[in-house]
Amino acid sequence: MNESLYAVLKTVFIILLVYFGFKIFIRFFGPLILKYFMKKVGKKFEQQFNQQFGGFSQNQQKKEKVSIDKKPKSNPSGDKKVGEYIDYEEID
pLDDT in tens, 60-83: 556 788 888 887 776 655 556 677
CA 15 to chain centre: 35
CB atoms under 10 Å from CB of 24, counted, come to 10
Kindly state whether residue 67 falls inside one of the protein's structural domains.
Answer: no
Assessment of whether the complete model's pTM goes beyond 0.75? no
Kindly state whether residue 85 falls inside one of the protein's structural domains.
Answer: no
Q: Summarize pLDDT for 26-63 with one digit per residue, the tens.
A: 999 999 999 999 999 999 999 988 888 876 555 555 67
Residue 89, pLDDT score: 83
Kindly state whether residue 62 falls inside one of the protein's structural domains.
Answer: no
Kindly state whether residue 42 falls inside one of the protein's structural domains.
Answer: yes
Kindly state whether residue 18 falls inside one of the protein's structural domains.
Answer: yes
Domain enclosing residue 33, as ranges: 2-55
Residue 68, pLDDT score: 82
The domain tally of the chain equals 1
Q: What are the backbone dihedrals phi and psi of residue 34, each rounded to the nearest 5 degrees, phi first?
A: -65, -40
